[in-house]
Structure 1
Amino acid sequence: MVVVPADHLVAAPDILELAGAPLWAIIDGASCPELPQLVDENGGICLYRASTPQDAPHAPWLIPVLPDAPMAEDLAALGNIQHWGIVFASDAGERKLHRHFRRFTMLWTDANEQAPVYFRFFDPRVLGDAIHALPVSDMAHLLAPVRQLWVPLSPLLGEWTGLSPLVEPELFRGKFFQLALPEKESPERPRAFAVRGHAYREMERLHGIRNRRKLARDLAHRFPTAPERVVMTCAELAPQKAASYGLFSVKHVGIYADAMMIFGPHFDKNEPEAAAILARHTPVSLTKAEALRTWSNDAWARKRERKHLSGSMA
């Protein structure tokens, strides 16, 4: 399964003209605060067990996209960077689509042999990873009733978009690209949808790439004057270096990356106070991360004060 070339990008209104069948959207309530209004204006049905968005505000909803309905315009207004969902054309009716996609909201992975986990295939980031990691037969089962498929363009989807993570919003806002569908296979499907072995490891690898791309974008926002090369290098190195000190969460890696941006990539060796903090053998990574952030803020303030005094004396 491959991505349609970038020159096939389309704006939201064009999807209505290109669709060869009735158009639908699956909107992720966890990423789309506008979901209650969208359901109220356009109707829809929840892929989980809920009758209203208020019952399950973070659930995915299947919503029709009719030419003269508000949803047609709402697609263009929703922020691409929110990764709010997917748009597709299908000849299947609402009941059939609902019944089909509900079967894929959970899946088995190597992370937990005892119970399935939520599968957020309606998140463009997850769908993109699945496209590149899962067997074609699995994707054919997942997308069996889909005739055409579009996702909102975002630099945080992955390297396969061809976008730099630091690209300006004007280059992707309101744009969609179409994914080529896998060849349809036998109507039979596996007893349980699962991501195992190599596919699971590949999903994890792609997730790590996306995390580094997001970190780069966050760093560029926090350090707007930093050269792109410095930002990208920091985002690439920070997760591994932070992990060597027992810091794994997105928040903690961000704290470590901030220190790298301010004091250099080798601050953990060149700054004695930071080195002492990171060398602590504590089972509570939060304590270490918060101590590092406090040191970084204080040291940065002292550094700026020395620079100011030096400039005043000059």
Structure 2
Amino acid sequence: MIVPGQIARVGRSAPSDLLVPHDDKLADVHFELEWDGARCLLRDASGEGTWLGGERVREGVVPPGGWLRAGETDFSAYVERVHQPFPAGSPQQDSKAQVLGLLRAQSASLYAVLDTTRSPRILALLRESVEDYRSLYEGVKGDALEEQAPYVVHLPRESALLEPLVHEGWGHRWGIYLVSPLALDEVRRHLRRFLRVEMEGRSGFHYFRFYDPRYVGHFLNACSPLELARFLGPNLIIFYEKGLSLERMEARGLPQCSTPGAFMLRHEHMHSLKRAVVHDFEERMMAWLRNHLGSYCGEMDDAQLLWAIQDGLMRAHSYNMVTERAACIYICAQFVCGRDFDVEVSWGTQILNDSRFTSPTERARALVRALELHRGIQLPV
């Protein structure tokens, strides 16, 4: 931890403050971080440069959550208990204020279902709070997954936890909000019924992250009235983020449904969810390219950038780079080396057609190494 006015030195040995002795590529003091109370300043002390956001620099300003690399070690810098405020009167700030007001105005009990894999900050907030919360997992395996589990937490009307959840988590897909007259344990029992579902045309049970705000709306809109009634249960209202707005779904006017057994995801559900996954990837990829490879995006507007991403997705899949990370790396290579790097750049052609790579991950790693070697670009992906 660095307090205002303090400098922290990072390297392999003394006089560094943070030691990484196992990394032989680090200098004794490789870089320094200085916190002035408002900005985190990076200064390279190795003479070799330190990677900041994928670019080798001598000095720079590290943003909250910024990614650094020195030697063969990755670092992230966070500002504890401080979030980047949006300017007063901005759409983001106004939206969060409206969301907070709407959630506090609910007459029945308010709950949040939070996905701790989205940020370590979520579990820290839960542990610091006095509110009742439960993991949706249970048993020995559930205890082992404590750090990655979804949690349901009760949020009384004057809860001090609700404000940081909205201020820090809204827009970052931390989870969804529920309103129900049921007690916490009853809400948890109902939600656990949808953690494992069946899928039409497939055998066995499958884990379903229904609490992901990126997809819950697409899933609910694909449900029949009976399926919706079954999912929402007795008098349950679901709130989830969509852009800057708060979407609402409730069971009012729906038929009673008490179908036993596991919930079945039909082909219509899967088709809707697949479209949502691709759309979400495209949006995140656009933002990532603007932030990390902005100089390679040139004067492209959003429509042109989206077309380039969709073209890259199709080409990546033709080389069996079908995982999200592999597709991301392929698209980055296109922006750095050119759209047709797969046929016009010799090392690109070799890597993409090398039969020794048996998985998308292996091929993607080879591309990352080649980009650093031949273009001096290191990707924080």
Unaligned residue ranges in structure 1 (runs of 5+): 1-6, 155-171, 303-314
Q: How much does 1:237 deviate? A: 1.8
The answer as to 2:100 corresponding to 1:21 is no
Between 1 and 2, higher relative CO (CA 8 Å, sep ≥ 6) is seen in 1
Contact 2:238 2:249 survives alignment (8 Å): yes
Question: Secondary structure of 1:152's match?
Answer: strand
Matches within 5 A, 1:104-183: 104-110=194-200, 112-113=202-203, 115-154=204-243, 172=244, 176-182=245-251, 183=253
Deviation per CA, 1:41-67: give whole Å up to 9, x if none.
Answer: 211222221699886222222211112
Checking the alignment, whether the CA contact within 8 Å between 1:36 and 1:54 is kept in structure 2 is no
Q: Find the aligned partners of 2:107 and 2:234 in 1 and give their Cα distance.
A: 13
- Match of residue 346, structure 2, among 253, 257, 272: 272
* Structure 2 residue 372 is the aligned partner of structure 1 residue 297: yes
Which of 279, 294, 302 is the equivalent residue of 1:224? 294
Distance 2:306 2:270 in 1: 26
1:143 is displaced (CA, Å) by: 1.2
**Counterpart AA for 1:285:** P
Equivalent residue, structure 1, for 2:189: 99
Contact 2:137–2:150, Cα closer than 8 Å, also in 1: yes
Give me the whole-angstrom Cα distance separating, in 1, the residues matched to 2:150 and 2:283.
25
* Secondary structure at 1:248 match in 2: coil
Counterpart-to-counterpart distance in 2, 1:211 and 1:110: 25
Partner of 1:285: 360
Structure 1 residue 89 displacement after superposition: 1.5
Runs of 4+ displaced beyond 4 Å? 7-10, 50-55
Please report how far the alpha carbon of residue 10 of structure 1 lies from its aligned counterpart in structure 2 after TM superposition. Answer: 6.2
In the alignment, the residues of structure 2 paired with residue 188 and residue 210 of structure 1 have an alpha-carbon distance, to the nearest angstrom, of 33
Cα shift readout 1:12-59 (whole Å, capped 9, x = no counterpart): 431244313221111222224222432542112222216998862222
- After superposition, the Cα gap between the structure-2 partners of 1:81 and 1:17, relative to the gap in structure 1 and judged at 3 Å, is closer
Cα 1:280/1:14, change in 2 over 3 Å? same
Structure 1 residue 31 corresponds to structure 2 residue 104: no
Cα shift at 1:146: 4.4
Displacement after TM superposition at 1:9 (Å): 8.3
Normalising by structure 1, report the TM-score: 0.76
Measured in 2, the distance between the counterparts of 1:29 and 1:112 equals 28
Structure with greater proportional helix content: 1
Counterpart amino acid of residue 37 in structure 1: L
Relative to structure 2, which stretch is displaced further, 89-98 or 31-40? 31-40
Residue equivalent to 1:160: none
Could you report, residue by residue, the CA deviation over 1:154-211 in whole angstroms, capped at 9, with x for unpaired residues? 4xxxxxxxxxxxxxxxxx4xxx503233542223225320113333233223222222
* CA offset digits 1:66-124 (Å, max 9, x no partner): 122222322323323431111121112223212211111111125851x2122111111
Distance 1:55 1:70, change over 3 A: farther
Which one has a larger percent strand, Structure 1 or Structure 2? 2
Work out whether residues 26 and 86 of structure 1, in 8 Å CA contact, stay in contact via their aligned partners in 2: yes
Which residue does the alignment assign to 2:283? 213
CA distance in 1, matches of 2:178, 2:238: 4
Separation of aligned partners in 2, 1:118 and 1:261: 35
* Identical-residue share of aligned pairs (%): 21
Instruction: Name the structure 1 match of 2:318.
Output: 244
Q: Distance in 2 between matches of 1:285 and 1:292?
A: 11
Q: How far did 1:294 drift?
A: 2.9
In 1, the alpha carbon distance for the partners of 2:258 and 2:165 equals: 34
> In structure 1, what is the Cα distance between the partners aligned to 2:171 and 2:139?
26
Stretches of structure 2 lacking an aligned partner (at least 5 in a row):
1-93
Query: Any idea what SS the aligned residue of 1:151 has?
Result: strand
Distance 2:208 2:193 in 1: 10
Deviation string for 1:234-284 (max 9, x for gaps)? 222222110101111122111110111122222222223322322222324
Distance (Å, rounded) in 1 between the aligned partners of 2:359 and 2:232: 43
> Cα offset for 1:130?
0.8
CA distance in 1, matches of 2:359, 2:272: 29
254-263 or 48-57: bigger deviation = 48-57
State yes or no: 1:73 paired with 2:163: yes
1:153 CA drift (Å): 4.2
Q: For the Cα contact (< 8 Å) 1:25–1:63, is it kept in 2?
A: yes
Evaluate the alpha carbon distance shift between residue 64 and residue 285 of structure 1 in structure 2; reply closer, same or farther with a 3 A threshold: closer
Q: Identify if the C-alpha distance between structure 1 residues 32 and 66 changes in structure 2 by more than 3 Å, giving closer, same or farther.
A: farther
Mean alpha-carbon deviation: is it higher for 283-292 or for 67-76?
283-292
TM-score normalised according to structure 2 size: 0.64
- Pair 1:90–1:209, CA change in 2 (3 A): same
- 1:86–1:122: 8 Å Cα contact kept in structure 2? yes
The amino acid of 2:281's aligned partner reads: N
Distance (Å, rounded) in 2 between the aligned partners of 1:86 and 1:203: 17
